[in-house]
Amino acid sequence: MGEQKKTFVVTRFDPDRDDAPTTREYEIAVQPDWKTLDALNFIKDHVDGTLAYRWSCRMAVCGSCGMMVNGEPRLTCKDVLSQYGDTVHIAPLANFPVVRDLVIEFDGFMEKFERVKPWILRAKEKAVEEGTHRQSPEQLADFQHFSMCINCMLCYAACPVVSNEPAFLGPAAIALGHRYNLDSRDEGNGARNQVFRGDGTVFSCSYANECSEVCPKKVDPAAAVNQAKIGALLDWAKGLVLPRGGPE
């Protein structure tokens, strides 16, 4: 099977010139092995060089090419174009401000990541001569699954809570914080659980499971969020009977 013609209906928006987003149609011949990103690259290179979007690795590693394809959050470098019909609608990820065309603003997303303190926290650092913090394969397995997130933000675009509560920490940030809470080398559970118990955090999640459905790395952020709920509650109960301590 050779080339096939498809029509791409692409959202266009320049906030400096446009009052509202519009769409533009591009009819091109596509190859049977193309991904959605290949079609966008062809359009930009041969049809309309003004089209703006993000991409980098083309290997489903960097997470930068997430977009809405036919209304679903997709990683376009991994999204097989042959699964769609003759018309494909491409828009920026939902629930994010748009910078231009298919490019979204993710500063707010990164601020949420910082709130969960996504690094190893220790009450006291080991002296160099004491060596490294050793970890068994079993201890690594406790959190490794949740460390596979590539920050593509598809889960935020799919999450019904994010669409209604913009302040919600969101699936990826909570999953990342939970990953460090499960790390045997870390001592920052108390600080993160305090964040998790705040407004717009783990208890805002309605467990729709949409985040896990769209995750290209099968991280299962919905499971992380619900495990984090239990951890935050247990930490709160422990704080009622034991003095609070640990790194901030």
* pLDDT tens digit sequence for 185-239: 999 999 999 999 988 789 999 889 999 999 999 999 999 999 999 999 888 888 7
Could you count the other beta carbons within 10 Å of the beta carbon of residue 167?
A: 13
Q: What is the pLDDT of residue 166?
A: 86
Task: Compute the average pLDDT of residues 40-69.
Answer: 97
Q: Where in the chain is the domain with CATH 1.10.1060.10?
A: 107-241
CB 175 within 8 A of CB 146: yes
Which of the four pLDDT bands, split at 50, 70 and 90, describes residue 125?
confident
- What is the strand order of the sheet 72-75 is part of? 22-30, 4-12, 87-91, 66-69, 72-75
Say if residue 171 is exposed, middle or buried (CB neighbours under 10 Å; 0-12, 13-18, 19+).
buried
Specify the pLDDT at position 127. Answer: 83
Mean pLDDT of 110-131: 90
Question: Cα-flanking dihedrals φ and ψ of residue 235, to 5°?
Answer: -65, -40
pLDDT for residue 242: 67
In percent, the amount of the chain with pLDDT more than 90 equals 81
Contact 67, 18 (CB under 8 A): no
- The 10s digit of each residue's pLDDT in 132-173 is 888 999 999 999 999 999 999 999 999 999 999 988 999 999
pLDDT band, very low/low/confident/very high, at 1 (cuts 50, 70, 90): low
Question: What is the rounded CA–CA span in Å between residue 6 and residue 28?
Answer: 6
Q: What is the mean pLDDT of the chain?
A: 93
> How would you write the chain as a 3-class SS string?
CCCEEEEEEEEECCCCCCCCCEEEEEEEEECCCCEHHHHHHHHHHHHCCCCCCCCCCCCCCCCCCEEEECCEEEECCCCEHHHCCCEEEEECCCCCCEEECCEECCHHHHHHHHHCCCCCCCCCCCCHHHCCCCCCHHHHHHHHHHHHCCCCCHHHHHCHHHHHCCCCCCHHHHHHHHHHHCCCCCCCHHHHHHHHCCCCCHHHCCCCCHHHHHCCCCCCHHHHHHHHHHHHHHHHHHHHHCCCCCCC
Contact 60, 79 (CB under 8 A): no
Q: Is the domain 107-241 a CATH 1.10.1060.10 member?
A: yes
Instruction: Decide if pLDDT at 84 tops 60.
Output: yes
CATH 3.10.20.30 placement within the chain: 4-104
What per-residue confidence (pLDDT) applies to 236? 83
Class of domain 4-104: alpha beta
| Phi-psi category of residue 107: left, alpha or beta, with phi > 0 → left and psi -120 to 50 → alpha | alpha
What is the value of pTM for the model shown? 0.90
Residue 3: the pLDDT is 80
Percent of the chain with pLDDT over 70: 96
Using the predicted structure, report yes or no on whether residue 63 has a pLDDT greater than 80: yes
Say yes or no to pLDDT of 243 above 80: no
Q: Is the pLDDT of residue 244 over 70?
A: no
- Which of 147, 158, 160, 144 is closest to 66 using CA atoms? 158
Return all residues near 55 (Cβ < 8 A) that are at least 6 apart. 37, 40, 41, 64, 65, 76, 77
